[in-house]
Every structure is written in structure tokens, then in C-alpha cells.
Amino acid sequence: MIFNRTLANCLLEDVGENMFSGLTNLRWLTITGNNIRTLKRGAFRGISCPKNETSLWLELNNWTSDIEDGAFEGVSGLAKLGLDGNQLSSFPNLTGFPEFIDLTLRKNDIVDTSLLTQSGIKQIENLLLSNNQISVIPEDLGRHISIRTLDLSSNRIKEIPPRFLENPKTPQITNNLYLYDNEIEFVHSESFAGLPNLKTLYLFNNNIRHLPDGVFSNLSPDYLDQTSSFSRLSQT
């Protein structure tokens, strides 16, 4: 039997080490709307799901510090992790997890995403980082991680670096790229190079006043929704 557990709006203040140890058939754990101050190392150790589809939704908690390194170590089969609305200022250390279906950190205060490329994650189906304070996109993001949907909307990004999602070893799987509601001023001629499967690109509500020649030359028209992408592009 696969179990689901929900601890929502319980005024929970602490998740101690090994609190959930022994939950070997846990598919879904929701801890939302509590007063958790921090997540300590080993907080979820022992959780597992035979089908490798464990989901942890840890949203809208009033954390006063970032997640300790190793908070998720010892979790087997973690496929979906939701950390929306937790006032996090940095990306958590997720070393040891090669891939995710959903990884969401919307509505936090994240500035630095360097731990994302250092984590060893190889593939993420949906990486949702909207409504943070991110100002710089890692230039080598695609070399480390294959991402199908990347949402960086509603941040403070000013520049789209060249080939930031390209993987020189294998074609990138990215279908959807959301960069709207930022402060983007500069788009390089090769910003979207290496994305043969791109289907949707949203750039509206930015400060783009010029697009270089050939910026979309590496994209197939069959995979680009131009109407949606440029409906609100700034005029020169």
C-alpha cells in the first residue's frame, strides 16, 4: 500500500532528524502552512517509495533560515519537490538526486542559483523558479542539466547569456522557456542556440529594445510560438 501524509496548518515548528524514518511506502508528504524555522540535516531520512515517485510538498512555511545541507539525504525515490513561498534566499543543496519530475521554488527570495549546477542533477522535467530575486542566469546551465520546462518569469534578470541551455554532447530537451516579467535588456545572437525542440518562448514585459540579427535562426518555426513571444516586445 502506498501512503499519503498531510501536515497542513498545524503550527509545526520543527522537523527533527529521522522524524519520518520508516515510511517505506510513502508516495506523498505535504507539510504546508506551518511555522517551521529550518529544515535540518536528515529531516526526511528513511522515506522511500518502491516506484521512485515520492513527492514532498513543503510550501508556505515561515522559515527564518535556509535549508541545511543534507536535509533531503536518505530520501529514496524523490521525484517531486515543492518549496514554494518559503522565503528562501538560496537554492538548497540537492546533491544525490540525479533527476526530478517537478522541482518548484516559486515565490521565494532566491538570488543565487549556483548550487543548482553544482548539485549533480542531470534532468528536470519542470523547473519552476518564478517570483524570486534572480538577476543572473548561469551561463552553463544546459551543460549540467537537461530541462524540459524552465520558468524564470518575474525575476530581475537583465541579460540572456549565449547558449545558456545548450548541451554540446546531446540535444537539449527544452520545450518551454518562460522569461517574461523580468528586466531583460540584452539578448545575444546565440541566446537560444542549441534548442532544437523549443516550442514556447515568452519574453513579454521586459526592456528589450533591440533583437540581434539571427537570434532565432537556430530555431525551427514549427517549435516557436512567435505571436505569444513578442506580443509585448518594447519598441525602438
Burial of 202 (0-12, 13-18, 19+ CB in 10 A): buried
Residues in the chain: 236
Q: Is the pLDDT of residue 235 over 50?
A: no
Q: pLDDT tens digit string along 77-98?
A: 889 999 999 989 888 888 888 8
Place of cell 549565449: 162
Question: In the 8-state DSSP scheme, what is residue 24?
Answer: T
Q: How far is it, in rounded angstroms, from Cα 114 to Cα 7?
A: 31
Tell me the domain boundaries of the chain.
1-123, 135-228
Torsion angle in degrees (nearest 10) through CA of 109, 39, 81, 154: 0
SS3 223: helix
Question: What phi and psi, each to the nearest 5 degrees, are found at residue 10?
Answer: -110, 5
Question: In the 8-state DSSP scheme, what is residue 222?
Answer: G
Mean pLDDT, to the nearest integer, of 148-163? 96
> In CATH terms, are 1-123 and 135-228 the same topology?
yes
pTM of the model: 0.90
Give the dihedral sign, CA 119/125/128/133: positive
Q: pLDDT tens digit string along 160-208?
A: 999 999 988 888 899 999 999 999 999 999 999 989 888 889 998 999 9
Q: How far is it, in rounded angstroms, from Cα 202 to Cα 186?
A: 15
CATH superfamily, region 135-228: Ribonuclease Inhibitor (3.80.10.10)
20 DSSP β-pair partners: none
Mean pLDDT, to the nearest integer, of 123-134? 97
Q: pLDDT tens digit string along 10-33?
A: 888 888 777 887 777 888 899 999
Grid cell digits, residue 220: 525551427
Alpha helix stretches (DSSP H) within the chain: 114-118, 141-144, 226-230
Grid cell digits, residue 23: 515510511
Question: In the 8-state DSSP scheme, what is residue 8?
Answer: E
Q: Which CATH architecture has domain 1-123?
A: Alpha-Beta Horseshoe (3.80)
Q: How far is it, in rounded angstroms, from Cα 100 to Cα 53?
A: 9
